[in-house]
């Protein structure tokens, strides 16, 4: 639905592409000043309609609660610019009809700091039975999510991205059957994954799935194959990762998977010798901090003989990669290579390696004299 709205906004020029890059994929937009002025005039004229449904937090320090809700039904709380959040003891009773709780940052930059006075407010969420969307993105001083968060059975989206102090998730989240998006990426202190992820049959997006010890991550990659709607998956191989033989070959059976990201937190080359068999439905692959010298060490064609699928995007960021070979079963159209100090590649050879290339971006690769190169067919 969101993508349809973006398309309509582009079509009527309410938003336009941001920047002058050559990439065929547009990820950032801007609102022209004349359009923004018209929007503000419209909002001022219609403010009485908006106010009953939405509470916006736009001061630097905000205390949530104390809102006169006698004649008001609040459906949404949006953090526009608050950096420090506190909560009154009875704040949930005033917001019992809440469906959207956007406390985390929405800005693109991680420089937008947000912290809470106490994480005790999380225990109160269990009473907000109509919640469909919760974002704690980028909020510091949250060490763990209470087990009561799993009682939000109507929740569709739980966004915990970049909660840098977060160490523990609820022990079991299998009751959150409505979840479509579970985002845990960039939570660098997380110890493991909770039980029950494999039972969240409506999941479409799962980001930040941590491979750790068997004890800390009882759910493994092979268990996720039953998530038939899963279209985006990001996997982080942690420093304590214990990996079974052929564990990642089961990726081939993820029939709906379009986007896959794999990141490594360790540089030990033994973690580059994992056999990944990619699903034929895959369109985007992002490798971050790959510890091997060649992709041949771990990526292989289908064990069932399938090959030659269109990988629309291949992004490789950081790591110890030294050379790229010709993967005849990958038809790459968009290629991005960044921060690869040991990669031995000539920008003019990439077209030969990937003859169907339409766009290439290279940034800070060792034997290329310029810092950045961008090319589009």
In this prediction, residues 275-292 reach a mean pLDDT of: 90
Q: What is the pTM of this model?
A: 0.87
Count of all residues that appear for the chain in the document: 377
Q: Are residues 219 and 309 in the same domain?
A: yes
In this prediction, residues 89-94 reach a mean pLDDT of: 82
Q: Are residues 250 and 309 in the same domain?
A: yes
Q: Are residues 43 and 158 in the same domain?
A: no
Q: Is the pLDDT of residue 369 over 90?
A: no
In this prediction, residues 321-338 reach a mean pLDDT of: 83
Alpha carbon 264 to its chain centroid, in Å, reads 16
Q: Which residue has the higher pLDDT, 248 or 107?
A: 248
CATH number at residue 98: 3.80.10
Residue 245 — left, alpha, or beta (φ > 0 → left; ψ -120 to 50 → alpha)? beta
Grade residue 200 by pLDDT with cuts at 50, 70 and 90. Answer: very high
Q: Are residues 81 and 145 in the same domain?
A: yes
In this prediction, residues 117-145 reach a mean pLDDT of: 92
Confidence at residue 294, expressed as pLDDT on a 0 to 100 scale: 87
Q: Quote the number of domains for the chain.
A: 2
Note the pLDDT tens digit of each residue in 43-72.
Answer: 444 444 444 466 777 678 888 877 666 667
Partner residues linked to 98 by β-bridges:
none
Q: Are residues 298 and 362 in the same domain?
A: yes
Share of the chain above pLDDT 90, in %: 37
Most confident of 189-198, 228-237, 317-326: 228-237
Mean per-residue pLDDT of the chain: 84
Q: Are residues 355 and 218 in the same domain?
A: yes
DSSP state of 221: G
Cα gap 103→138, rounded to integer Å: 9
Q: Are residues 176 and 41 in the same domain?
A: no
Q: Are residues 371 and 318 in the same domain?
A: yes
Q: Are residues 22 and 63 in the same domain?
A: no
Cα gap 191→212, rounded to integer Å: 8
Q: Are residues 75 and 116 in the same domain?
A: yes
- Domain enclosing residue 22, as ranges: 1-50
Q: Is the pLDDT of residue 155 over 90?
A: yes
């Amino acid at each position: 639905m969101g993508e349809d709205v973006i398309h309509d906004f582009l079509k009527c020029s309410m938003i336009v592409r941001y920047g002058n890059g050559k990439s065929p994929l547009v990820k950032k937009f801007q609102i022209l000043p004349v359009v923004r002025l018209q929007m503000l005039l419209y909002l001022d004229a219609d403010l009485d309609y908006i106010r009953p449904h939405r509470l916006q937090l736009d001061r630097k320090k905000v205390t949530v609660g104390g809102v006169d809700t006698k004649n008001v039904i609040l459906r949404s709380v949006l953090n526009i610019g608050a950096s420090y959040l506190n909560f009154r003891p009875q704040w949930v009773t005033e917001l019992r009809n809440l469906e959207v709780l956007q406390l985390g940052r929405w800005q693109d930059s991680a420089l937008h700091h947000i912290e809470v006075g106490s994480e005790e407010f999380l225990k109160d969420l269990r009473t907000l039975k109509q919640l469909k969307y919760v974002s704690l993105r980028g909020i510091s001083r949250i060490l763990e999510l209470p087990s009561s968060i799993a009682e939000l059975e109507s929740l569709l989206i739980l966004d915990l991205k970049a909660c840098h102090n977060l160490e523990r998730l609820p022990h079991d989240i299998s009751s959150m059957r409505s979840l479509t998006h579970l985002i845990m990426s960039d939570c660098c202190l997380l110890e493991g994954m909770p039980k029950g992820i494999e039972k969240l049959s409506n999941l479409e997006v799962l980001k930040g799935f941590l491979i750790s010890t068997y004890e800390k991550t009882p759910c493994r990659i092979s268990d996720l194959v039953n998530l038939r709607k899963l279209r985006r998956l990001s996997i982080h191989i942690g420093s304590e990762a214990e990996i079974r033989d052929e564990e990642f070959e089961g990726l081939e059976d993820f029939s709906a998977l379009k986007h896959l990201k794999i990141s490594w937190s360790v540089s030990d080359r033994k973690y580059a010798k994992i056999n990944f068999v990619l699903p034929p439905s895959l369109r985007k692959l992002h490798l971050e901090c790959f510890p091997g010298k060649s992709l041949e060490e771990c990526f292989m064609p289908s064990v069932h003989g399938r090959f030659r699928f269109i990988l629309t995007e291949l992004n490789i960021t950081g790591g110890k990669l030294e050379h790229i070979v010709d993967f005849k079963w990958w038809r790459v159209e968009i290629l991005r290579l960044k921060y690869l100090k040991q990669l031995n590649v000539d920008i003019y050879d990439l077209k030969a390696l990937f003859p169907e290339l339409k766009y290439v971006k290279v940034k800070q690769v060792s034997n290329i004299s310029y810092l950045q190169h961008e090319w589009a067919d």
